């Protein structure tokens, strides 16, 4: 079952590669493939949520993995749905050749493949390989437009993430080393086997291993100060890819960190060590993101920094711990993905209309693109934590976690930063939406079909803002239990 899920995107990628010339066919294949992936993924997710963990030795899908998978397939599907009209428009404008279009979908599916691999692998080594794989594949997508800035972004992305990931490998080795004494030389680096003996793992190796893993995967997550590649890559990639990077990839990397974090909480070191580090990096990310959001001049970079902010929030949530902290952070992963995807889609529409990424260059959206502007405004309010959108719920939960666990000062910092970011972010977005459009800018949407996935996302974040389906809620509780938090 899981193997089908893994191979499906590879197969679609191959199809796209082979049908390279026939744009229409590639698009159809992509949409159908993404649909199938969504279907298959949902079935698996539902299965895990309802029946429990799937353990196939090499492949392992527990609630945490399934939750990630849900995000991957959902955003993956919507991103592809959005890609079709978006990339077609790029194609028509001569930005992309039809050959490249085929490659685009190929890489997109390979990208999804690597991410799926991250969450379904039991072996922490394979997780590492898959995360490294995401970098290699998505670097192509980041450098997709053969322009100087794209290449620069891709290069930075590649180098910084590679170095980070190397550290993660070193960390993985140390964790592995910590298990040698217990499991002997046949230790297989499976997460489940490690968990089984978590209490006996060598603390010295585990500790340094976790630090390395955190810095390593943290680079990929976009935790400050290892975040530096992120704004470049997110702003240079095609918008649907930005949505995937921001909404899914970062979560996948966070997922990798979490696996180690869980291990730490069950080890003899206890959770305080890893929680403290997560909290530290989370707060740092939040603060640095706030600074850049305030001074930002490029709206795609704005969204990228907002991703850093939200990864910070997620890290803070896990750092706070307790039921609310973890529950909130998990929920926040989902909410952030959905909302950020919405925003990147919106930004894509704006970019295609205004042909500039500069915030100052975009004025009067409400008059030129009424639908996009409404959706964008809702997205902006949502991402900055306004109810009734879902991000609010998870942010409140994280805050509750902090205060409930007695982390008063970090909680206050957290709340303060969020408010500052709200002000700065809304300031930018409001300036874009209102005012007089630049001269000669005609009224009308450029990417009408692209509005459909956006509306779907708005519906999701609205519904999730008011209530969380019981199935999901129960699954999240199971995950919280995994962390050792009381339910």
- Residue span binding other proteins (CB under 8 A) among the ranges 164-172, 248-256, 438-446, 451-459: 164-172
- Selected from 55, 95, 188, 445, the binder of other proteins by CB under 8 A is 188
Within 204-243, the residues that bind other proteins by CB under 8 A are 204-205, 207-208, 211-212, 215, 219, 225-226, 228-229, 231-232, 235-236
Task: Select from 10, 25, 46, 173 the one that contacts other proteins (CB under 8 A).
Answer: 173
Q: If binding is defined by CB under 8 A, does position 333 make contact with other proteins?
A: no
Tell the smallest beta-carbon distance from residue 149 to other proteins (Å).
5
Determine, following the binding rule CB under 8 A, whether residue 111 of this chain makes contact with other proteins: no
Stretch that binds other proteins, among 31-39, 140-148, 338-346, 445-453 (CB under 8 A): 140-148
Which is nearer to other proteins, 43 or 408 (by Cβ)?
408
Using CB under 8 A, which of 388, 413, 441, 452 touches other proteins?
A: 388
Residues 6+ apart with CB under 8 A from 255: 64, 65, 68, 118, 119
CB of 209 to other proteins, least distance (A): 10
Closest by Cα among 43, 2, 11, 3 to 29: 11
Answer yes or no whether residue 155 interacts with other proteins by CB under 8 A.
Answer: yes
Of residues 246, 393, 407, 447, which one binds other proteins by CB under 8 A? 393
Q: Binding pattern to other proteins, positions 236-275, x when CB under 8 A? A: x------------------------------------x--
Question: H or E segment at 55?
Answer: strand 54-56
Return the closest-CA partner of residue 288 out of 265, 315, 320.
315
Cβ distance to other proteins smaller for residue 371 or 434 = 434
CA distances in angstroms from 47 to 54, 127, 160, listed in the order given: 9, 22, 38
**Considering the complex, what minimum distance in angstroms separates the CB of residue 139 from other proteins?**
6
Under rule CB under 8 A, residue 467 binds other proteins: yes
Interface pick for other proteins out of 91, 361, 435, 445 (rule CB under 8 A)? 435
SS3 122: coil
In angstroms, the CA 126 to CA 134 distance is: 12
Residue 95 as a binder of other proteins (CB under 8 A): the answer is: no
Q: State in angstroms the smallest separation of the CB of 304 from other proteins.
A: 10
- Say whether residue 361 binds other proteins (CB under 8 A): no
Calculated CA dihedral for residues 330, 331, 332, 334, nearest 10 degrees: 100
158-180 CB burial, b ≥16 within 10 A, e <16: bebbeebbebbbbbbbbbbbbbe
CB of 31 to other proteins, least distance (A): 28
Cβ-based nearer residue to other proteins, 120 or 277: 277
Q: What angle do CA 212, 216, 217 make, to 5 degrees?
A: 120
371 binds other proteins per the rule CB under 8 A: no
| 87/128 Cα distance (integer angstroms) | 31
Instruction: Please report which residue ranges of 222-360 form alpha helices under DSSP H.
Output: 229-236, 239-244, 250-266, 271-295, 299-320, 322-354
Give the burial class of 325: count Cβ atoms within 10 A of its Cβ; 0-12 exposed, 13-18 middle, 19 or more buried: buried
State how far the Cα of 348 lies from the Cα of 351, in Å rounded to an integer.
5
- When asked if residue 170 is in the footprint of other proteins (CB under 8 A), the reply is yes
Measured from the CB atom, the residue of 32 and 159 that comes closer to other proteins is 159
* Of 92, 185, 439, 442, the one binding other proteins by CB under 8 A: 185
- Interface with other proteins includes 180 (CB under 8 A)? yes
Which CB sits closer to other proteins, 32 or 181?
A: 181
Q: Which of 342, 206, 187 is nearest to 262 (CA)?
A: 206
Q: Contact with other proteins (CB under 8 A): which of 27, 62, 90, 132?
A: 132
Contact positions with other proteins (CB under 8 A) in 56-85: none
Radius of gyration of the chain (CA): 21
- Per DSSP, the three-state class of 267 is coil
Using CB under 8 A as the binding rule, whether residue 481 contacts other proteins is answered as: no
Please say which residue, 88 or 477, places its beta carbon nearer to other proteins. 477
Q: Are 339 and 457 in contact (CB under 8 A)?
A: yes
Q: For other proteins, which residue of 283, 288, 365, 375 counts as binding (CB under 8 A)? A: 288
Shortest Cβ 80–other proteins spacing (Å):
23
* 59 three-state secondary structure: strand
Nearest to 122 by CA among 55, 25, 24, 209: 55
Q: How far is the CB of 102 from other proteins (least distance, A)?
A: 18
β-bridge mates for residue 121, sequence order: 59
Using CB under 8 A, which of 1, 32, 459, 466 touches other proteins? 466
Q: What residues numbered 293-332 form the site for other proteins, per CB under 8 A?
A: 294-297, 301, 327
Smallest separation (angstroms) from other proteins to the CB of 225 = 4
User: Closest Cα partner for 238 from 115, 372, 146?
Assistant: 146
């Amino acid at each position: 079952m899981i193997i089908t899920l893994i191979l499906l995107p590879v197969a679609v990628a191959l199809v796209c590669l082979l049908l390279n010339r026939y744009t229409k066919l590639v698009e159809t294949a992509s949409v159908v493939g993404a649909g199938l992936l969504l279907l298959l993924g949902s079935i698996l997710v539902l299965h895990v949520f309802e029946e429990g963990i799937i353990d196939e030795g090499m492949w392992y899908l527990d609630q945490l993995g399934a939750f990630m998978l849900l995000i991957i397939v959902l955003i993956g599907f919507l991103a592809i749905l959005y890609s079709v009209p978006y990339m077609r428009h790029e194609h028509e404008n001569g930005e992309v050749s039809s050959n490249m279009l085929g490659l685009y979908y190929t890489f997109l599916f390979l990208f999804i493949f690597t991410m799926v691999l991250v969450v379904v692998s039991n072996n922490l080594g394979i997780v590492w390989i898959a995360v490294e794989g995401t970098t290699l594949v998505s670097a192509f997508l980041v450098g997709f437009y053969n322009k100087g800035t794209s290449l620069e972004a891709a290069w930075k992305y590649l180098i910084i993430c590679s170095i980070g990931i190397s550290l993660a490998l070193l960390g993985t080795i140390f964790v592995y080393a910590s298990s040698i004494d217990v499991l002997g030389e046949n230790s297989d680096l499976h997460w489940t086997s490690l968990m089984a003996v978590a209490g006996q793992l060598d603390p010295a190796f585990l500790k340094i291993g976790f630090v390395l893993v955190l810095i390593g995967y943290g680079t990929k997550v976009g935790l400050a100060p290892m975040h530096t590649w992120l704004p470049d890559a997110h702003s240079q990639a095609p918008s649907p890819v930005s949505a995937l990077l921001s909404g899914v990839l970062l979560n996948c990397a966070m997922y990798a960190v979490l696996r180690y974090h869980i291990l730490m909480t069950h080890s003899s070191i206890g959770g305080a060590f890893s929680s403290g580090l997560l909290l530290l990096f989370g707060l740092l990310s939040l603060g640095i993101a706030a600074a850049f959001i305030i001074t930002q001049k490029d709206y795609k970079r704005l969204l990228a920094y907002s991703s850093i902010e939200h990864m910070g929030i997620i890290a803070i949530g896990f750092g706070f711990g307790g039921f609310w902290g973890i529950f909130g952070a998990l929920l926040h992963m989902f909410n952030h993905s959905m909302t950020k995807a919405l925003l990147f889609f919106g930004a894509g529409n704006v970019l295609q209309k205004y042909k500039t990424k500069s915030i100052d260059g975009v004025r009067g959206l409400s008059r030129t693109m009424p639908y996009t502007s409404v959706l964008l405004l809702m997205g902006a309010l949502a991402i900055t934590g306004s109810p009734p959108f879902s991000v609010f719920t998870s942010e409140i939960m994280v805050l509750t976690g902090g205060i409930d666990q007695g982390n008063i000062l970090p909680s206050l910092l957290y709340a303060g930063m969020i408010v500052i970011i709200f002000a700065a972010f809304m300031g930018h977005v409001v300036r874009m939406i209102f005012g007089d459009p630049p001269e000669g800018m005609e009224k009308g949407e450029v990417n009408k079909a692209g509005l459909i996935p956006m509306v779907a996302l708005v519906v999701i974040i609205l519904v999730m803002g008011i209530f969380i389906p019981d199935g999901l809620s129960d699954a999240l509780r199971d995950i919280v239990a995994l962390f050792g938090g009381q339910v």
